[in-house]
Structure 1
């Protein structure tokens, strides 16, 4: 007698090109946890090995270019519904990623670009020589770019300190080629956190969606940027429109912060499986 297994819906696959976080709270580890929690299969291509925990980053080792190429090609060969980039620490890595992704992007693959520059503890994760490569090569290929305020300032040359300047930064990023820009306002002071999604309006000009939520007073913020971008990529892979993918991602990250397990002595990780945990109760 044989037992048939229940039919399980197939998961759309998301190619994740990012660094590994030995602390498990950010990078590839957070990306894979997030995509699975939101109904997608995160398939990693690791760009670098970082040595870190909640107190900070103490080392970074690059993955050799041939290995990175092989990783990306292997995932693409299986078919993917969206892609997300995180830590691309050098101009060489960026050029390698673009070369391997271009055929898929020409076929309509959506790419979420998280311009990871500095770790929560202050360690620089993007070399100075890579900033121009990121602007010239990644922004024109991005379905959406997701900078925090310091990253938006580096990418645009503008002082980004309030909602009005966030919109101007979004305008600049779209002028540089991105199809949408989510400017994240977590670095602003105040009890209300504001994010701005800026997209071109069909009739010309810009369309701006303002997202607001009460600020969470917590040290458990490690990996929020990676998690947000991966959550958006999972939404796009599942066919959600951009605004809906962003709204779901913000809600998911907020709940993951509220459910944080309290690990570590510095910037602690989120609870990425909070929705599965709730469903099991």
Structure 2
């Protein structure tokens, strides 16, 4: 036990059985951002990527009981809350009464429609939201269509959005955030810009994530309001909390899961990337230790030295590839290697990234010296071997990018990725063998088998 009490954040909303939005998205967001999440279920929906097929509102007495249970437990309590789907006026009245009774600060997400289609707020309930919830919330987070409904104003551009924000602020909201990504001029500029108003205007922009026209992002609004509530619960001011929440959702959409015609936000994307980054770094370090403990490895280190690297699962650039800074070289004392870090070897990184274009699972590579004996050992071990000719390299090409792509196209591979790629060198270029693996440790395991066979 850490002894540090996590902030308690309560979500009050509906269940999305498909797992992409609603309280499911909220709880995943709370967990990813390090706050303790509690939930008050207001409705059960039957929905999928085709829309909302059925809705059943939880009796308001049970909703009230849920809130009382959470608030009355001193070990739980509520530091902050957020509201989502509140289907009817009766539901809104009960929730507003409880929030006001216990003076719970909250983010109001005025959910009206599901991202996949389907009405989640009764027509006559909007006025109740305006009368009872907007005046007591800390911040309200409508998207453009919702802001238009609440304010009664048509929103076609940024100036219209400002007018709508002012109108909603007059209704009693301490702050208004109109979420971006809906206006044509934003999309054309490649930006998704949220507009904040709390007495002063401020824009928060991020890159607009392009997607196929038929794809619908699911769960972004819920995740944003949940992330905002989590950051506010931690004591961050509104602007800092909004910036953090926006980045969180942007990353969650970027790493979203394709489900039929939906892109479902992945709240764990950031955690998974951090975990994978740590795993890659430690894996390369372990691979280097294995090489140092293999006394005969020095016999296959080329004149230019060896390097080994490994890419993150979703690597996009050299920044996502860890390797040895400098080279691995033999010395009188044994094998010397520099520190292991990210973005320290363009050469090995480009080789791995080029291979991952063909096979995402082959995330590691190591270079060793060329010899017919090494190639023969690789073949005897059942490795698929391919090659490229440096003499045919185009003048505007980069050797590793071009060479790997050339080797992968070898018809004898029958579409499978090679385990080994070699070349016979050129003027001023040493012949080289490269061995690929799923991880750096896997690649070194192959190297050790090759060395053992060559040394027999």
- Residue 31 of structure 2, aligned match among 12, 26, 36: 36
- Residue 52 of structure 2, aligned match among 53, 57, 79: 57
Greater mean deviation of Cα atoms: 119-128 or 242-251: 119-128
**Taking structure 1 as the reference length, what is the TM-score of the superposition?**
0.92
Secondary structure of 2:94's partner? helix
Q: CA separation in 2, counterparts of 1:153 and 1:199?
A: 18
The answer for the alignment partner of 1:225 in structure 2 is: 221
Alpha-carbon distance, 1:147 to partner: 0.3
State which structure, 1 or 2, has the greater radius of gyration over its C-alpha atoms.
Answer: 2
> Within 5 A, what are the aligned runs for 1:8-23?
9-23=4-18
Residues 10-63 of structure 1 deviation map (CA, whole Å, 9 limit, x = unaligned): 211111100000010100000000011111111000000011122211110110
Residues 110-153 of structure 1 deviation map (CA, whole Å, 9 limit, x = unaligned): 21000000111221110011000000011001100000111001
Indicate conservation of the 8 Å contact 1:18/1:45, yes or no.
yes
- 2:257 maps to 1:258: no
Q: CA separation in 1, counterparts of 2:181 and 2:130?
A: 22
- Residue 269 of structure 2, aligned match among 265, 268, 274: 274
- Residue 151 of structure 1, aligned match among 146, 152, 164: 146
Alpha-carbon distance, 1:209 to partner: 0.9
- 2:90 maps to 1:92: yes
Alpha-carbon distance, 1:261 to partner: 2.4
Alpha-carbon distance, 1:223 to partner: 0.7
Larger RCO (CA under 8 A, 6+ residues apart) = 1
Secondary structure of 1:239's partner? coil
Q: Identify unmatched segments of 5+ residues in structure 1.
A: 1-5, 201-206
Q: 1:104 to 1:164 in 2, by over 3 A?
A: same
Count of residues in Structure 1 that have an aligned counterpart in Structure 2: 266
The answer for the alignment partner of 2:244 in structure 1 is: 248
Indicate conservation of the 8 Å contact 1:144/1:178, yes or no.
yes
Q: CA separation in 2, counterparts of 1:268 and 1:52?
A: 15
Indicate conservation of the 8 Å contact 1:56/1:121, yes or no.
yes
Residues 211-265 of structure 1 deviation map (CA, whole Å, 9 limit, x = unaligned): 1222101335101110000000000111110111100000000000111122x21
Q: CA separation in 2, counterparts of 1:161 and 1:233?
A: 28
Q: CA separation in 1, counterparts of 2:43 and 2:143?
A: 22
The answer for the alignment partner of 1:203 in structure 2 is: none
The answer for the alignment partner of 2:108 in structure 1 is: 113
- 2:206 maps to 1:213: yes
- 2:170 maps to 1:175: yes
Q: CA separation in 1, counterparts of 2:55 and 2:236?
A: 35
- 2:231 maps to 1:235: yes
Indicate conservation of the 8 Å contact 2:115/2:216, yes or no.
no
Runs of 4+ displaced beyond 2 Å: 6-10
Indicate conservation of the 8 Å contact 2:50/2:117, yes or no.
no
- Residue 101 of structure 2, aligned match among 93, 103, 106: 103
The answer for the alignment partner of 1:195 in structure 2 is: 194
Indicate conservation of the 8 Å contact 1:259/1:270, yes or no.
yes
Alpha-carbon distance, 1:8 to partner: 5.7
The answer for the alignment partner of 1:204 in structure 2 is: none
The answer for the alignment partner of 2:128 in structure 1 is: 133
Greater mean deviation of Cα atoms: 7-16 or 159-168: 7-16
